[in-house]
Structure 1
Amino acid sequence: MLIKMINIRTATPADLPQVLELMRDLAAFEDYLDTFAVDLGELDSRAFGPGAQCRIFVAERAETLAGYAVVLEIPFTYDLRPTVILKELYVRATDRSEGTGTRLLESVTTWALSKGAGRLHWDVLTGNQHAERFYQRHGGQRVRKWIAYQMDEAKLIELQARSQQPEALADR
């Protein structure tokens, strides 16, 4: 098997058009492309602006991005150590099974440890058995202690509105 040379590095603003293309590929795969709202300006602001909210790692082959990883940092939790969230790890289909995902994950773990992180969390799309096997091969374990919950925007607004009602204020 011919191994293509790959360079894993922190993204720069110049990478963002290709990162955005890969993000759209992931959104199509995970079936949320119709609600995908990320654009170049927002991605630049959130990754490189003042108070940046994420860090992006890229896998580059011959000046083309083959994949990326987006991580978020929760500064501390119960043990006063950071938790790193692997929000997205995506490798273009034509570049899979060549070690690209492994190299991205290794870079994320190196960065997480440099921050003093006590753990790395991520989600896997239900039914994505390839991703589950990938993470299990690298020591990832399914978390059975917790069940994920979320509120969409409509429920957030509904709860906020209820909290503003006089009877809700009296119960505080």
Structure 2
Amino acid sequence: MRPATVADVPLILGFIKKLAEYEKLSDDVVATEDILRESLFGSKPYAEVILAYAAKNSTDNEKIPAGMALYFHNFSTFMGRPGLYLEDLFVDPEFRGRGIGKKLLIQLATIAKERQCARFEWVCLDWNKTSREFYEALGAKPLSEWIIHRVDGKSLDYLAAM
């Protein structure tokens, strides 16, 4: 594993598109390499990415991109400390079941501890039972009492113009 660099933007976008396809949300992807370059590596980076590499098979020494975790900081007013928020975790299907997702989550938990974050959290689609079971096996607790609210697109324009 390693932190992504600006040279990795095409790879990151490729993983985002594969994740969107898996989540049946391909039509929602409007990110471009230019947008990601500015948002992740511009003068004010908004998020960070860790890339995971693995050998294609047990006899191959060459490591190829296998997955990524894209994350950023949020803040808990009750705790008075930052949190780490995982926006996307993706492992290429050919590498699933090899512990890569778990290693990415462990790395993010380590970063959260190093940065004195009060918590590490993310959301998971309700239909994704496999991922939910995976997260819960690692100690994550689903928070069913919280409902996500979102304002985007024309609704965001409307609210901002009030």
- TM-score exceeds 0.5: yes
Deviations 1:147-166 (A, max 9, x none): 111123222233344x3xxx
Find the counterpart in structure 1 of residue 146 from structure 2: 146
Measured after TM superposition, the shift of residue 63 of structure 1 is 4.1
Give the aligned CA root-mean-square deviation in angstroms: 1.4
Aligned pairs (5 A) from 1:60-79: 60-61=53-54, 62-79=62-79
**Aligned match of 1:20:** 13
TM-score after normalising by structure 1 = 0.84
Shift of 1:111: 0.8
Q: 1:93 is matched by which residue type in structure 2? A: P
- 1:47 paired with 2:40, answer yes
More deviation in 117-126 or 26-35?
26-35
Cα deviation, residue 146, structure 1: 1.1
In 2: Cα distance, 1:45 partner to 1:109 partner: 26
Cross-structure match for 1:130? 130
Matched residue, 2:30: 37
Could you state the TM-score of these two structures normalised by the residue count of structure 2? 0.89
Residue 3 of structure 1 corresponds to none
CA radius of gyration, larger in: 1
Q: 3-state DSSP class of the match of 1:31?
A: coil
In structure 2, the partner of 1:167 is: none
Q: Secondary structure at the match of 1:103?
A: helix
Shift of 1:33: 1.3
Structure 1 pair 150–111 and aligned structure 2 pair: CA distance change class (3 A)? same
Per-residue deviation, 1:145? 2.7
Deviation at 1:83, TM superposition (A): 1.3
In 2, Cα distance between equivalents of 1:130 and 1:51: 35
Secondary structure of the residue aligned to 1:82 is strand
Partner residue, 1:118: 118
Could you tell me how far apart the structure 1 residues matched to 2:148 and 2:28 are?
21
Q: Is the 8 A contact 1:77 1:83 kept in 2?
A: no
Q: Which residue of 2 aligns with 1:169?
A: none
Q: Distance in 1 between matches of 2:19 and 2:89?
A: 9
Amino acid corresponding to residue 144 of structure 1 in structure 2: S
Q: Which runs of 4+ in 1 moved over 3 A?
A: none
Which range moves more in the overlay, 64-73 or 33-42? 33-42
1:56 to 24, 45, 49: 49
- Aligned counterparts of 1:45 and 1:157: Cα–Cα separation in 2: 22
The Cα of 1:60 is off from its aligned counterpart by 1.1
Distance (whole Å) between structure 1 residues aligned to residue 107 and residue 130 of structure 2: 20
